[in-house]
Amino acid sequence: MRGASVLISGVGIAGPALAYWLQRYGFLPTLIERAPALRTTGYVIDFWGAGYDLTERMGLLPRVLAAGYRMREVRIVDDRGRPVGGFDADEFRAATDNRLTSLPRGALSEILYDAVAPLETIFGNSITSLTPHGDGVFVDFEHGPGRRFDLVIGADGLHSIVRALTFGAESRFERFLGYTVAAFEVAAYPVRDENVYVGYTVPGRQIARFALRHDRTMFLFIVADPAPPPFDPHDMTHHRAYLRERFGGAGWECDAILDALDAAEDIYFDRVSQIRLPRWSVDRIALVGDAACAPSLLAGQGSALAIIGAYVLAGELARAATPADAFAAYEGRLRAFIAGKQRSAATFGGAFAPRTRFGIWFRNLVTRAFALPGVARLAIGRSLADQIELPEYGAGNGTPGTLGRTGGSN
């Protein structure tokens, strides 16, 4: 199958990572992205484990670390800014053998995309139909003439176009976890705590800030919602109104942060959901990353799982005789592992935005206990462990090797 043309929809994390490995194995990938340019904004992720290990194997770890931050502390404050919970980030770092960094998701996407340049990339366009026939797939686009590819891969996230065209409506496979999330960044916010994630919680709502380089600050909002709110993900007027309604007058720095919202050039806004599909491929079309199996943003593992999935999918395509064989091997190797991550992630949201005052008090108490020797590692060590065996595809012999001693990132 080497030499096959592959259209990859999505230039986030999974898409460029998949293109990187496919190029190494002699395939001819093309990327398509509905946005007019590479998205370099977004929330800050904690990055460790198998995804971290694979970026090292790709030769990208120095750039990842240079773009990242060595977080010192997670600090939970009350309405007067006084610490009421949190923990020293070194406890997490020790649990990952010091193989952890925090970096903007957009920065990781940019690093991965730079690793495949120059590569044919179609920005500002989208797939409108997919027609498998014989040994290929004919693809129609929103703009321009259609083209034929040997394979089509959907790496286009939670709201995947490829998934919708191939498997049906998103509502059939989306599991809403009861939260809405938003994020933005601005320059010159007057309060900075370097390398400290500072969060404030009222029942069902959390707002947090993290100081970035170049005098910029990232803000993250999490809201407990009984049902997914209807919205257009590109409607910034709605996003601003939603955040002001829920956080206006809520105490701490909420009003000052909402004032800064006017200066935001872009706002990330979405519901917190998982994608659960009975299978990840049909004919010569397959899915990877959040398009196939989003664990949810709050799980803290989406980016690592996307990089792992891209590595496995490319490797199986490189050594299989047919797409069906490759897709079956890819899914067989990862499905149980991903399902376990999704089950764990479904319980995570309550720690970010407890719905009651008692829940907030208890969450703060637990985080303060992390200061006791060994408590943090006992509490979080298992959730960080990712002992997954991945084949050494590049060696050409399929010999399994252990990657991801500790795993996950968002």
Give the model's pLDDT for residue 248.
98
Q: Do 252 and 77 contact (CB within 8 A), yes or no?
A: yes
Residue 378 has pLDDT above 80, yes or no: no
Q: Average of pLDDT values for 316-332?
A: 96
Q: Report the DSSP beta bridge partners of residue 139.
A: 130, 147
Helix (H, G, I), strand (E, B) or coil at 341: helix
Give the model's pLDDT for residue 229.
78
Q: How far apart are CA 216 and CA 260, in angstroms?
A: 11
Residue 385 has pLDDT above 70, yes or no: no
Q: How far apart are CA 111 and CA 55, in angstroms?
A: 10
Q: How far apart are CA 153 and CA 134, in angstroms?
A: 17
Q: Average of pLDDT values for 323-348?
A: 89
Q: Average of pLDDT values for 339-365?
A: 86
Q: Average of pLDDT values for 84-88?
A: 92
149-153, 293-297, 316-320, 373-377 — which is least confidently predicted? 373-377
Q: Average of pLDDT values for 122-150?
A: 97
Q: Average of pLDDT values for 135-142?
A: 97
In tens, the pLDDT along 182-229 reads: 999 999 999 999 999 999 999 999 999 999 999 999 999 999 998 887
Give the model's pLDDT for residue 383.
60
Residues 6+ apart with CB under 8 A from 130: 137, 138, 139, 140, 152, 162, 165, 166, 285
Q: Average of pLDDT values for 10-26?
A: 97
222-226, 238-242, 371-375 — which is least confidently predicted? 371-375
Give the model's pLDDT for residue 400.
40
**Nearest partner of 193 among 86, 107, 300, 110, judged by Cα:** 86
CA dihedral 226, 198, 112, 54 (to 10 degrees): -90
Higher pLDDT, 144 or 396: 144
CB atoms within 10 A of CB 12: 27
Q: How far apart are CA 13 and CA 11, in angstroms?
A: 7
Give the model's pLDDT for residue 389.
81
Give the model's pLDDT for residue 406.
37
Q: How confident is the model at residue 255 (pLDDT cuts 50, 70, 90)?
A: very high
Please state, rounded to an integer, the average pLDDT across all residues of the chain.
90
* 240-244 own/partner pairs: CB under 8 Å, 24+ apart: 240/267, 242/180, 242/182, 242/269, 243/182
